[in-house]
Amino acid sequence: MSESRDHLVYRSKLPTSFVLSCIAAPPRASRPPFANRARRFTKGCFVSDEKHHRFLQVAIGEARKGLDSGGIPIGSVLVIDGEIVGRGHNQRVQKESAILHAEMDALENAGRLTASEYQRSVLYSTLSPCDMCSGTALLYRIPRIVIGENRTFRGPEDYLRSRGVELILLDDQECIDLMTQFVKDKPGLWNEDIGV
């Protein structure tokens, strides 16, 4: 599949998995003006960018909580059937944890779920999920991940796609600004978080 997606036409006759695998947006500067108003075809219903941005705003709020408490500004929410069931933020610093990335915290806060619940869920994250968080999404067969940004860090997105996970990249400026400033201010802490 070509990296340029500006000319793709989305038709409901296409398989849902194909349509959703094509919607990871290129950088904002090269996107057509109508890209922010695009509607996504998802399992028989349209999901607007506005809905994705609403859930992403909750994740951004979690990221700010993490930053305000001395941690890394990454937030996440788990949504099932349009309802937030878990939310969290990176707490590696605050809890001296080796694994409490934002996505892991959101999943932990969601509690024990059934396989069918995970398979109806959407994981929202302000930053592209790392190998650990991506692996957890694969383990529980979370079918869709909405990513705030992947400019400051890009996890194994191609691998997730190859395993059937549908990714939606929002390229959100607030997420970009949060992480860009944090990496500039605390490069050592950031490198520790990503294992560098």
Active-site residues, by number, are 103
> What does the block give as tokens for 131?
């190998």
Distance CA 16, CA 14 (A): 6
> What does the block give as tokens for 75?
């937030």
Other beta carbons within 10 angstroms of residue 16's beta carbon come to 15
Query: What is the distance between the terminal CA atoms of the chain, rounded to a whole angstrom?
Result: 31
The single-letter DSSP state of residue 4 is -
Residues 128 and 85: beta-carbon distance below 8 Å: no
Residues 167 and 157: beta-carbon distance below 8 Å: yes
**Type and span of the H or E element at 61:** helix 49-68
Q: What angle do CA 104, 108, 111 make, to 5 degrees?
A: 150
